[in-house]
Structure 1
Amino acid sequence: MPDLLNLITDIEGVSVGHATDLALGSGVTVIVFDEPAVASGTVLGGAPGGRDTSLLDPSMTVNAVDAFVLSGGSAFGLDAAGGVQAGLRERGRGFAVGPVRIPIVPQAILMDLLNGGNKDWGLHAPYRDMGYQALKAAAKGAFALGTTGAGTGATTATFKGGIGSASAVSSAGHRVAAIVAVNALGSATIGEGPHFWAAPFEQDGEFGGLGMPGVVDHRMRLKGMNTPATTIGAVVTDAQLTKVEAHRLSLAGHDGFARALLPAHLPLDGDTVFAASTAKHARDDMASLMELCHLATIIMARAIARGVYAATALPVEGAQKAWRDRYPNAD
């Protein structure tokens, strides 16, 4: 993929923006579509938080979205979608209801309230403003990974989490890409070492090129038995999909969680994957859909590893160490 950045912005018509507050230890990431995109999604974690996720069910009326929002802040972070809606409304975007337009902005949140950042924000949480800032910052092309946007305060059982992304091209020439904020209750790495569970899927040393260890430690590692977590992300393709097919693509994204995190989809995870189609390229056969689902699994696994690999520790006392802190010379 010589012309690709290995990011979700490899999909034509997709922009990404971050709002990051290192002192707060939290942030917001927005994925914006130039035109409404056919979308769906699935929640497989036992402790989710989201906004307008029900409308993504294939049986619901609204077929397309203007943007997705990923945010820290737990339930307080749900204000971020309001800021994104405000910015999209300024642009005249949204689902038409008579003379009114309502921007459709599904959101998922992660729990980052216990990471050492300053959460004493007063009466109103800052996430509405951060959502607006993230939308204003949204652009095509390269964007930061690791401790930024919704990944700012993300953690895992073993290392600092963060924003990751990856892309691929199908045999039919369709592009598919993932973005994820890795805030898992479990671990993206194997045992106490530097190796990633996603190692079999790695491309071009994108997260260190270490491969698998000689001995695989399967013992469960959790960042807490009573601490909610959540890994949240999206898969987007330029292939034409129906809403039902987008729903299937989101499930394949969850398969990537299962290949890159151990364990995943726990009772205190809120694991959520959105999926969307920009419909830039026609397709109507089952074989191409199955390949897109296969690739969605792989790119989500790769994106998760990249999010942890790129992360840096928060500049606050007691912050969780990043992979790069423990293994600065491993790659």
Structure 2
Amino acid sequence: MGSITDVPGIKVGQTQDLVALTGCTIILCPQGAVGGVDVRGSAPGTRETELLDPSNLVQAVHAIALCGGSAFGLAAVSGVMSWLSEHSYGFKTSHGIVPIVPAAVIYDKGLGSAEHYPDEQMGYIACTLAGTEVLEGNHGVGTGASVGKLMGVAHSMKSGVGTASSKVWLKQPELRVYTVGALVVTNAFGDVYSQNKMIGGLCDHSSGELLDTMRQLRLETSFSLQPEAGVNTTLAVVATDAPLNKAAARKLAQMAQDAISRAIRPAHTMFDGDAVFALSIAPESEKVIDPFGLSCLGAIATEVLVEAIERSVLEAHPAGGLPAATKPNRGE
């Protein structure tokens, strides 16, 4: 178990609208962290991801914003930037401080109000609430999340936010133990599995039967299904105190993204906008870990993210799940 906030210097703030069923989750690293990203879904909604390219100038980010509301939800980033600026956190320029806040969104309009979405005020409030406790399930960006949408929202199951962490021993640059943590919002087209057992996804709520998206895709009647594009996305942040440069952070994000393929079936479809961010909060003066250490860190980060994905479903509903159109049972 554990939490992404087990990584020193990482805090999480969340706000939600339980009427509109939307919200945002802000991963704060105000002192600055080296960042990387891997966007593998085909329907992404993102902001500032190009800054994380190793060839680009900016070397540190100050928060990652995960928001509901589809592209409209990116408005919450302005509130995050305002909070960081008020506290003098950001990239220093000759004319003031500019906080660097990469962001990504999920489409959650199918559960609550399509007219409401996270805004500047919601992003600002999330920052004021940031701490080391991370509420899972139907909180923050997970408030309107669901999984298993081959046949639309009516046959999906509720999901939400999940988090986990682990320790890892690395030999270089010195023998010591580091922490790697993950936070995820699972809003997938596919179903979620734990140890090869389906725990959430496509469901017939009248009978309680899990329909199994992969099984349905094999049926000759599958050609008649017309899933809605762009309404699914799994977003994650993996963070560590192991020293990484931007190229290593991107590689960590790439390796961790494999967790989505392991826990969600199918994954990375044309209907998903999956993205994984990576953060390293180690001081710049530390020597970057070697390739074997990075490989070990990425392998464990993948395991941690798998656990976080499982928890995002298990913490969002009681055993058996809820119809996605049902108001969440937690956080009310």
TM-score (norm 2): 0.82
Cα distance between partner residues in 1 of 2:240 and 2:169: 14
1:90 aligns with 2:95: no
| Percent identity of paired positions between Structure 1 and Structure 2 | 38
Mapping of residues 146-185 of structure 1, within 5 Å: 146-157=137-148, 158-172=156-170, 173-185=177-189
State the partner residue of 2:206.
Answer: none
State the partner residue of 1:225.
Answer: 227
**Match 2:263 to one of 260, 265, 271:** 260
* One-letter amino acid of the structure 2 residue matched with residue 265 of structure 1: H
Residues 118-148 of structure 1: CA distance to partner in whole angstroms, max 9, x if unpaired?
Answer: 2334xxx5421111111111012x2200000
Contact 1:194-1:323 within 8 A present in 2 as well: no
Contact 2:184-2:312 within 8 A present in 1 as well: yes
Contact 1:38-1:63 within 8 A present in 2 as well: yes
**Match 1:133 to one of 105, 125, 130:** 125
State the partner residue of 2:237.
Answer: 234
Unpaired runs of at least 5, structure 2: 149-155, 171-176, 202-211
Of 181-190 and 160-169, more deviation after overlay is shown by 181-190
Cα distance between partner residues in 2 of 1:150 and 1:56: 22
State the partner residue of 2:49.
Answer: 53
State the partner residue of 2:316.
Answer: 311
Aligned residues: 294
Cα distance between partner residues in 2 of 1:224 and 1:240: 45
Cα distance between partner residues in 1 of 2:179 and 2:296: 11
Cα 1:109–1:126 shift into 2, 3 Å: closer
* One-letter amino acid of the structure 1 residue matched with residue 28 of structure 2: V
Q: CA deviation at 1:99?
A: 3.3
* One-letter amino acid of the structure 2 residue matched with residue 104 of structure 1: I
Aligned Cα RMSD in Å?
A: 2.8
Q: CA deviation at 1:93?
A: 1.0
Indicate the structure with greater strand content: 2
State the partner residue of 2:174.
Answer: none
**Match 1:297 to one of 296, 302, 308:** 302
Mapping of residues 1-331 of structure 1, within 5 Å: 6-115=2-111, 117-121=112-116, 125-140=117-132, 142-157=133-148, 158-172=156-170, 173-189=177-193, 195=199, 218-219=214-215, 225-228=227-230, 229-279=232-282, 283-312=288-317, 319-320=324-325
Cα distance between partner residues in 1 of 2:288 and 2:323: 51
* One-letter amino acid of the structure 2 residue matched with residue 186 of structure 1: G
Residues 257-288 of structure 1: CA distance to partner in whole angstroms, max 9, x if unpaired?
Answer: 01110011111110011101001575532221
Cα 1:270–1:220 shift into 2, 3 Å: farther
State the partner residue of 1:205.
Answer: none
Cα distance between partner residues in 2 of 1:170 and 1:271: 26
Residues 72-124 of structure 1: CA distance to partner in whole angstroms, max 9, x if unpaired?
Answer: 00011010111100111110111011131000000000000111x12334xxx
Cα 1:147–1:244 shift into 2, 3 Å: same
* One-letter amino acid of the structure 2 residue matched with residue 225 of structure 1: P
Cα 1:128–1:34 shift into 2, 3 Å: closer
Residues 16-51 of structure 1: CA distance to partner in whole angstroms, max 9, x if unpaired?
Answer: 000011101100000001411000101100000011
Cα distance between partner residues in 2 of 1:224 and 1:11: 42
Cα distance between partner residues in 2 of 1:217 and 1:105: 35
* One-letter amino acid of the structure 2 residue matched with residue 182 of structure 1: T
* One-letter amino acid of the structure 2 residue matched with residue 10 of structure 1: D
Cα 1:320–1:93 shift into 2, 3 Å: same
Contact 1:23-1:118 within 8 A present in 2 as well: yes
State the secondary structure of the residue aligned to 1:247: helix
Residues 189-210 of structure 1: CA distance to partner in whole angstroms, max 9, x if unpaired?
Answer: 38xx75479xxxxxxxxxxxxx
Cα 1:102–1:166 shift into 2, 3 Å: same
